[in-house]
Amino acid sequence: MARVAAPAHDREWLHEHAKAHLWRHFAPARVDRDVPIIVRGEGCHVWDDQGNRYLDGLSALFCNNIGHGRADIAQAGTDQAKELGFFTTWAYPHPRSIELAARIAGLAPEGLDRVFLTSGGSEAVDSALKLARHYHRLAGTPTKTKFISRTMSYHGTTFGGMAVTGLTFLREAYEPMAPGACHVPATNTYRLPEGHSPDEFAEAIEERVLFEGPDTVAAVIIEPVQNGGGCIPAPPGYFERVREICDEYDLLLISDEVICSWGRLGEWFGSQRYDYRPDLITTAKGLAGAYAAMGAVIASNRVAEPFSDGGPPFMHGFTFGGHPMSCAIALANIDAMDREGVNDNVLANEPVLRETLEGLRDIPIVGDVRGAGYFIGIELVKDQATKGRFAKADADRLCAELGPAMFARGLFSRADNRGAPAIQIAPPCIAGPEEFEEIGAVLRPVLEEASARYGIT
């Protein structure tokens, strides 16, 4: 069969072959209607194949933190290809893998000095879970195999990551999951029953450890701000208490920062913002600014020690983990973020973004506004006064309507019923008040129309 080449910018050809051949992620195998094709990006905006401009209110998928159109960052990959296009890190390192590992370790919390490179976030989570089990085996506690995570949490699409994910609808088609996952309540203080204390969220972890048996639990895996459920932060003192529980029962603390790193919360790592000390950090997305597929597990010296100085190898790896071109791009991205003060920009403008979104609380469908940095969720409710929930079918339909409604007005964002119907706002970390105005100008009419459509007053 002759190879078919796409004529440049031929819309009809692209739409025809998209419907016939491209299986989009988290989507049906085939659609019989044209969907917009994103063809260009610059700064905080992208354009579709009809020339329509959209504000990227989700940083593509929480990863284009440095903004679109940064040819200078991509150029680092081209330059690297001229020197060494690819070599695996399985046997012998290459200069960029060493430089990137050193750069990451220098920015990570103190004591996390070993960097295992992957191709993305799901790979990083799976690597951390396997590493935690292997560590306990070498430490003489081989029965420690279970993991505690939170309901509504999302930790990736591999079988290990899906097992610890706390969203039933993402798991049900693939049961049975890998064994050993245990779940505790998410830290949604907005939904905390009357008469209960936020302290109970951390104590639920200890209760689950004791129920399972401390000698069977390997690690706790949590995000600095939980993605699933709509950007759920933890109450004050939560991470400090979780660290105490992990220390008391010899558990590893895995901080899943695939989203909450590289400026998303205004720091290099979310655990730095909340001042807690993990044993393992998983990271990806913004690490290379989305200009290359790149992720990592950052391990503490404690976890790395049994594998060092003659210890056994960590029997795990990926062909493209630490790809030279991806490493070069990640280094260029980190340098650009540092040079241009991207973290400072997020911290300086976070109150402005928050004020913009808090200003929507007068709309009856808006229940809660929460999150941190450039990672804010708006939970939607049927009754604002009572925090009344939508029925699941209505929540699913509402979210299916809101995404296209925002897009039609020029805002790319996500409305999703992952435990609760919520809109997530996560613009590139270079955004400022002008972009926030655009976001507010779209969200207000969209949410007002939704309130009226569902009879919410």
pLDDT confidence of residue 81: 97
Residues 173 and 290 in one domain: yes
- Residue 100, domain CATH: 3.40.640.10
Residue 163 lies in a domain: yes
Residue 179 lies in a domain: yes
- Residue 421, domain CATH: 3.90.1150.10
Residues 159 and 199 in one domain: yes
Tokens of 364: 């009856």
Residues 352 and 318 in one domain: no
Token match 């529980």: residue? 245
Question: Does the pLDDT of residue 383 top 60, yes or no?
Answer: yes
Residues 148 and 248 in one domain: yes
Residues 106 and 89 in one domain: yes
Question: Does the pLDDT of residue 1 top 50, yes or no?
Answer: no
Residues 20 and 96 in one domain: no
* Structural domain range at position 425: 11-69+341-453
Q: How many domains does the chain have?
A: 2
Determine the length of the chain.
Answer: 457
Q: Please give the share of the chain, as a percent, with pLDDT higher than 70.
A: 98
Residue 215 lies in a domain: yes
Residues 293 and 184 in one domain: yes
Question: Does the pLDDT of residue 2 top 60, yes or no?
Answer: no
Domain closes at, from 339, 374, 391: 339
Residue 138 lies in a domain: yes
Residues 189 and 243 in one domain: yes
Is the separation of the CB atoms in 407 and 443 below 8 Å?
no
pLDDT in tens, 217-265: 999 999 999 999 999 999 999 999 999 999 999 999 999 999 999 999 9
Q: What is the mean pLDDT of residues 136-162?
A: 96
Residue 237 lies in a domain: yes
Question: Does the pLDDT of residue 152 top 70, yes or no?
Answer: yes
pLDDT confidence of residue 3: 55
Residue 81 lies in a domain: yes
Residue 446 lies in a domain: yes
Query: What span, in angstroms and rounded, lies between the C-alpha atoms of 117 and 145?
Result: 23
Domain closes at, from 339, 363, 393: 339
Domain closes at, from 322, 339, 356: 339
Task: Give the neighbor-by-neighbor strand order of the sheet with 252-257.
Answer: 112-118, 295-300, 280-283, 252-257, 217-222, 146-150, 181-184
Q: What is the mean pLDDT of residues 133-146?
A: 97
Q: Please give the share of the chain, as a percent, with pLDDT higher than 90.
A: 89
- Binned at pLDDT 50, 70 and 90, residue 8 comes out as low
Is the separation of the CB atoms in 37 and 31 below 8 Å?
no
Q: What is the mean pLDDT of residues 196-224?
A: 98
- Binned at pLDDT 50, 70 and 90, residue 33 comes out as confident
457 versus 354: the higher-pLDDT residue is: 354
Which is nearest to 133 in space by CA: 316, 301, 255?
A: 316
Question: Does the pLDDT of residue 106 top 90, yes or no?
Answer: yes
Is the separation of the CB atoms in 204 and 393 below 8 Å?
no
pLDDT confidence of residue 311: 85
Residues 24 and 115 in one domain: no
Burial degree of 137 (CB within 10 A; 0-12, 13-18, 19+): middle
Q: What is the mean pLDDT of residues 390-417?
A: 96
Question: Torsion-angle region of residue 226: left (phi > 0), alpha (psi -120 to 50) or beta?
Answer: beta
Residues 242 and 330 in one domain: yes
Question: Does the pLDDT of residue 10 top 90, yes or no?
Answer: no
Is the separation of the CB atoms in 43 and 340 below 8 Å?
no
Residues 224 and 183 in one domain: yes
163 versus 311: the higher-pLDDT residue is: 163
Residues 210 and 280 in one domain: yes
- Binned at pLDDT 50, 70 and 90, residue 54 comes out as very high
∠ CA(153), CA(200), CA(180), 5° rounding? 45
Question: Does the pLDDT of residue 48 top 50, yes or no?
Answer: yes
Question: Does the pLDDT of residue 201 top 80, yes or no?
Answer: yes
Buried/exposed 354-371: b ≥16 CB within 10 Å, e otherwise: bebbeebeebbbbbbbbb
Question: Does the pLDDT of residue 425 top 60, yes or no?
Answer: yes
Residue 97 lies in a domain: yes
Question: What is the CB neighbour count within 10 angstroms for residue 33?
Answer: 6
